[in-house]
């Protein structure tokens, strides 16, 4: 495995740090979409494995479980009382958003970026829905997951059509929620830029995003407000 030394300081905010040379993962296996594969990661075990809800390959079940809880996609939206009402309404009545050209392109590119991520950083794609230890309705499906010794490491993949100076706040909330659900301390955030759906970066850019318990506490409170509204049907 090549060791990376580049950093992208222009993308660093308080909660992120440059992605330097990664720690080498231990030899072992990893859960990928419910299939045990021989890769350079260790299989999720103990508390992590016990909290697997289902695989995204079982799409109907995956979507049904997501509707019953708060996912990282939901958490990305949670910032204000208005957003709490909007997320709750989508849970009750369903969302009118079913995707667009940008989300379709992201789904097309994600496996390619995931292959690069595994090759360069030793983190394989995941595809599993997990519940948090304390609340079965707090859910997350990280794009990548590995266990390096005692450490659970996550990854999040994005395709974007603009140049960033900072990681957007909604993406940070999404990452923090996943860290909370999985008990991770850091996430490799990977993104690839395109213009009119033509890839512009010779290879993806990346930073480590550190866990922020203060921000997670805010998200958990807002998520529980959503669930309370859903319970009362308003």
Query: What would the pLDDT profile of 28-59 be if each residue is shown by its tens digit?
Result: 333 333 333 444 444 566 668 889 998 888 88
Closest CA to 173 of 79, 90, 99, 87: 79
First to last CA, the chain: 52
**For residue 94, what pLDDT is reported?**
77
Q: Answer whether residue 110 shows pLDDT above 70.
A: yes
Please count the CA atoms within 13 angstroms of the CA of 163 that sit on its side-chain side.
4
**pLDDT tier at 148 (50, 70, 90 boundaries)?**
confident
Q: Answer whether residue 5 shows pLDDT above 90.
A: no
Grouping H, G, I as helix, E, B as strand and the rest as coil, residue 187 is strand
Residue range 200-227: average pLDDT? 93
**For residue 65, what pLDDT is reported?**
92
> Any idea what the Cα angle at residue 137 is, between residues 132 and 141, rounded to 5°?
60
Mean predicted lDDT score pLDDT of the chain: 79
Can you tell me the distance from the alpha carbon of 179 to that of 140, in angstroms, rounded to the nearest whole number? 9
> Any idea what the Cα angle at residue 117 is, between residues 123 and 152, rounded to 5°?
25
Higher-scoring residue by pLDDT: 147, 83: 83
**pLDDT tier at 26 (50, 70, 90 boundaries)?**
very low
**pLDDT tier at 22 (50, 70, 90 boundaries)?**
very low
Q: Are 66 and 74 in contact (CB under 8 A)?
A: no
Catalogue all structural domains in the chain, each as residue range(s) with its CATH number: 42-233 (3.90.320.10)
Q: Are 81 and 88 in contact (CB under 8 A)?
A: no
Residue range 193-200: average pLDDT? 77
**For residue 160, what pLDDT is reported?**
87
Neighbours of 27 (CB within 10 A): 10
What separation in angstroms does the CA of 88 have from each of 22, 111, 170, 230? 39, 31, 17, 6
Can you tell me the distance from the alpha carbon of 147 to that of 44, in angstroms, rounded to the nearest whole number? 7
Can you tell me the distance from the alpha carbon of 177 to that of 7, in angstroms, rounded to the nearest whole number? 25
**For residue 43, what pLDDT is reported?**
55
Mean pLDDT check: name the lowest of 22-31, 56-65, 134-143, 218-227: 22-31
Highest mean pLDDT among 19-28, 45-54, 90-99, 211-220: 211-220
């Amino acid at each position: 495995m090549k060791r990376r030394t580049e950093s992208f300081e222009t993308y660093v905010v308080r909660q992120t740090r440059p992605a330097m040379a990664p720690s080498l993962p231990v030899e072992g296996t990893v859960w990928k979409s419910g299939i045990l594969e021989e890769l350079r990661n260790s299989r999720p075990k103990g508390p992590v494995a016990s909290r697997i809800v289902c695989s995204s390959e079982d799409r109907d079940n995956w979507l049904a479980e997501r509707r019953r809880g708060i996912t990282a996609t939901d958490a990305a939206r949670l910032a204000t009382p208005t957003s709490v009402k909007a997320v709750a309404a989508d849970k009750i009545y369903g969302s009118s958003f079913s995707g667009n050209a940008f989300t379709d392109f992201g789904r097309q590119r994600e496996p390619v970026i995931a292959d690069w991520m595994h090759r360069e950083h030793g983190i394989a794609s995941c595809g599993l829905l997990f519940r948090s230890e304390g609340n079965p309705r707090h859910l997350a499906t990280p794009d990548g997951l590995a266990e390096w010794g005692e450490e659970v490491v996550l990854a999040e993949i994005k395709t974007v059509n603009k140049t960033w100076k900072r990681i957007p706040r909604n993406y940070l909330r999404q990452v923090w929620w996943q860290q909370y659900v999985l008990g991770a301390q850091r996430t490799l955030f990977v993104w690839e830029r395109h213009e009119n759906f033509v890839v512009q970066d010779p290879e993806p850019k990346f930073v480590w995003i550190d866990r922020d318990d203060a921000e997670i506490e805010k998200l958990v409170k807002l998520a529980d407000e959503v669930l309370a509204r859903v319970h009362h049907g308003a």
